[in-house]
Amino acid sequence: MGFFYVNFFVWLNNYKGNVMETKVVVVDNNKVILRLMTNYFQQRGGYQVVTAEDGLEALHVLEPFKPSLMFVDLRLPKINGEKLCRIIRKMPEYDSTYIIIISAIAAEEEVDFASFGANACIAKGPFGTMQQHISTVLSHWENKEATPLSKEIFGREDIYKRAITKELLATRKHFEATLENMVDGFLELTVDENIIFANRAATELFELSEEALLSSFFPDLFAAEQRPLIEEALASLGDKSIEIGEETAIVLHDRYLFIRLVPFSDQNQNFIIVIVQDISQRKQTELELIEYKKGLENLVAQRTRAYEEANEQLQDEINERSKVQEQLKNSIDHWQVTFDIMSDYVSVHDRNMRFVKVNKALADLLGKKQQEIIGEQCYELLHSTKEPWPTCPHIQAMDRQDVVTEEIEEPYLGKTLLVTCSPFFDIEGEVIGTVHVARDITRQKRAQEERETLVKKLQATLDEVKTLRGILPICSFCKNIRNDEGYYEQIEAYIHKHSGVDFSHTVCPKCMREHYPEYIDEKDKS
């Protein structure tokens, strides 16, 4: 409805013949701000204004309207202001569009608005004060003054920093750092299936930039033959999560994908979280096991049929491998849903190796509640030691100030873990902790060991297969066979020794009549 209203408003203004007016787009989820800004430009005169309440709607406005000026709030639903600016700056047709940030968090967060393509920044405050700053920026733009405004936030001196906002911003940084360092792809969709968030792993899996992913239609990312499967899963999504990619393969860019769709609500709006996991290595291992097993079975079948039953038993044993999927619960808020939905063991550690945040999977692994773990030393709970490991990935990541990934055999937990530690920084650039993501690869290791055991077992089976070959010297009278040592032995013993075949003795009808005629009745004699 909002999109229809925006396009109708654009058409109506063009119809009035205001072709010489300066086109302005105001993007803010506060309807009061939108109304005040619209009134301000109407009173100023010479401006044509269109408004949008979120970043996704703003992208729909751009193509038909083509504004010269944009006023953008940083905290927007669906696509935030920073990402919106980066997307616009990727579009050559909007190189000359002048972007002004209007932000209420200018005092709490050092906003480097020039880095994401904005030309000026005004701190939100009393609208009368804001009007003065807007007039200053507009005069600068209208007069085409050469001095850039990229180093000044207008009105920041009139706004006081709020401690609660700083805490929320810090929590958001933890959240964003966690998402960016996830091994799995993470996407957020609107109910219309348009992408409004994508982490770094998602851009790598889909081989598209973040700007290309945002606002795109999620099913269109897949091949035509697999698109109906994705659309069917999205259409059937109710209030519980759906998983696809195990029974029916989903292949993208030569990768096998496992996709989990999770519905959630935030501020009376419905969204869809999409977790995309690359399971190519596991699928490839399964295919290699199947192909290798088939080849060995065919080889054994060519040598002797006596081992067909053993081969079938081995096949049944391999096919009895079970799959375990973790059940995820929905949380009432966006952060907790996202954090607790991960099956990997995820935690945030401070510089002193104390837990700052832990997800539900890690809490369950340790047998504790999440709140009981906060503030505890990680090495005491994870390794049951009093001192950290000298080669601890957390210590290496802090020292190198870079991502560290290691495979760890953890005897205390009885698991093999693939651990990734990613440092995160405060606004001064100091390392203040790490995001710790541990994936349980115990099953993968066991599968590899099972494969090696199977190979050894089948090779041993082949070694035991014995065959008869060459020319056998046999006595024309007694039918005894001369063995390799030059001695004659019964044909039954020789064949049993070289092939494992056992004999049962009987008498054919011809010999029966010749040697035991008294046991044959008249009918059989004839």
Q: pLDDT tens, 188-203? A: 888 888 888 888 888 8
As a dihedral over the C-alpha atoms of residue 204, residue 207, residue 209, residue 212, rounded to 10 degrees, the angle is: -140
Of the chain, the percentage scoring pLDDT greater than 70 comes to: 81
Token code pair at residue 75: 């905290």
Q: How confident is the model at residue 110 (pLDDT cuts 50, 70, 90)?
A: low
Average pLDDT for 432-455: 85
Count CB-CB contacts under 10 A for residue 54.
Answer: 21
pLDDT of 490 strictly over 80: yes
**Given this model, what pLDDT does residue 18 score?**
46
Confidence of residue 354 (pLDDT cuts 50, 70, 90): very high
For the cut 90, the answer to whether the pLDDT of residue 83 exceeds it is no
Residue 524 pLDDT > 70: no
What pLDDT score was predicted for residue 452?
Answer: 86
Mean pLDDT calculated for residue range 425-433 = 87
Over residues 330-349, mean pLDDT: 70
- Range with lowest mean pLDDT among 92-96, 191-195, 417-421, 517-521: 517-521
Mean pLDDT of 85-109: 83
Whole-number Å distance between alpha carbons of 339 and 215: 23
Provide φ and ψ at 55, rounded to 5°.
Answer: -65, -35
Report, in angstroms and rounded to the nearest whole number, the Rg of the chain calculated over CA atoms: 36
- Count CB neighbours of 304 within 10 A: 15
Q: How far apart are CA 263 and CA 337, in angstroms?
A: 10
Residue 176's pLDDT band (boundaries 50, 70, 90)? Answer: low
Per-residue b or e along 244-260, where b marks 16 or more CB atoms closer than 10 Å to that residue's CB: bbeeeebebeebbbbbb
Q: What span, in angstroms and rounded, lies between the C-alpha atoms of 363 and 344?
A: 11
Residue 76 confidence (pLDDT): 85
State the helix-helix crossing angle for 127-142 and 31-44, rounded to 10 degrees.
Answer: 50
Token pair of 492 as six digits: 């039954």
Q: Quick one: 78 exposed, middle or buried, by C-beta within 10 A (0-12, 13-18, 19+)?
A: buried
Structure tokens at 467: 């065959």
At 160, the pLDDT band (50, 70, 90 cuts) reads low
Does pLDDT of 174 surpass 80?
A: no
- State the amino acid at position 181 in one-letter form: N
pLDDT higher than threshold 70 for residue 454? yes
Average pLDDT of every residue of the chain: 79
**Quick check: 468 and 495 in contact, CB under 8 A?**
yes
Tens digits of per-residue pLDDT, 270-308? Answer: 888 888 988 888 878 877 787 877 877 777 777 767 657
Helix, strand, coil percent content, the chain, rounded in steps of 5 = 45, 20, 35
Q: What is the DSSP letter of 429?
A: S
Average pLDDT over residues 144-164: 69
Residue 282, Cβ neighbours under 10 Å: how many?
16
pLDDT bracket for residue 17 (50, 70, 90): very low
| Residue 24 confidence (pLDDT) | 94
C-alpha angle 206/207/213, rounded to 5°? 65
Better pLDDT: 177 or 33: 33
pLDDT at 12 over 60: no
> With 50 as the cut, is the pLDDT of residue 418 above it?
yes
Average pLDDT rounded to a whole number, residues 456-477: 69
Q: Are 22 and 51 in contact (CB under 8 A)?
A: no
Q: Check pLDDT > 90 for residue 178.
A: no
Phi first, then psi: give them for residue 217, nearest 5 degrees.
-85, 120
Would the pLDDT of 466 be above 70?
A: no
Question: How many other C-beta atoms are found inside a 10 Å radius of the C-beta of residue 450?
Answer: 14
Residue type, 31: K
Q: In angstroms, rounded to a whole number, what is the distance separating the alpha carbons of residues 320 and 163?
A: 57
Phi, psi of 61 (to 5 degrees): -75, -35
* Cα separation, 357 vs 183, whole angstroms: 18
Q: Rounded to an integer, what distance in angstroms lies between the CA atom of residue 196 and that of residue 219?
A: 14
User: pLDDT: is 302 or 110 the higher one?
Assistant: 302
d(CA 124, CA 107) in angstroms, rounded, equals: 10
Q: What is the pLDDT of residue 6?
A: 43
Task: Measure Cα distances from 391 to 45, 376, 405, 431, 435 in Å.
Answer: 67, 20, 12, 18, 17
Task: List all residues 6 or more positions away from 18 whose beta carbon is below 8 Å from its beta carbon.
Answer: 48
Which whole number is the average pLDDT over 404-417? 82
Chain segment 204-240, per-residue pLDDT in tens: 888 888 778 877 899 999 988 989 998 888 888 888 8
**323-334 pLDDT per residue, tens:** 444 443 443 456
**Contact by Cβ (8 Å): 380, 388:** no
pLDDT of residue 215: 77
- Please tell me the distance from the alpha carbon of residue 493 to that of residue 481, in angstroms, as a whole number: 9
**What is the three-class DSSP state of 60?**
helix
For the chain, the maximum distance between any two Cα atoms, rounded to a whole number of angstroms, is 133
Are the beta carbons of 434 and 400 closer than 8 angstroms?
no
pLDDT > 90? residue 339: no
> pLDDT band at residue 69, thresholds of 50, 70 and 90?
very high
What is the total residue count of the chain?
A: 526
At residue 49, the pLDDT reads: 93
Lowest-confidence region among 108-122, 292-306, 352-366: 292-306
CB 260 within 8 A of CB 285: no
Q: What pLDDT score was predicted for residue 25?
A: 94
What is the average per-residue pLDDT within 420-428? 88
Confidence at residue 23, expressed as pLDDT on a 0 to 100 scale:
93
pLDDT at 33: 87
Q: Which residues contact 73 (CB under 8 A, 6 or more apart)?
A: 27, 28, 29, 30, 33, 81, 101, 102, 103, 104, 124
Please return the burial class of 338, using the count of CB atoms within 10 Å of its CB with bins 0-12, 13-18 and 19+: buried
Structure tokens at 369: 């509640």
- Per-residue tokens: 185: 């792809």
| pLDDT of residue 366 exceeding 60 | yes
User: Containing H/E element for 433?
Assistant: strand 431-440
Q: Are 240 and 221 in contact (CB under 8 A)?
A: no
Distance CA 399, CA 431 (A): 9
Question: pLDDT band for position 27 (50/70/90)?
Answer: very high
Q: How far apart are the first and last CA of the chain?
A: 102
DSSP state of 401: T
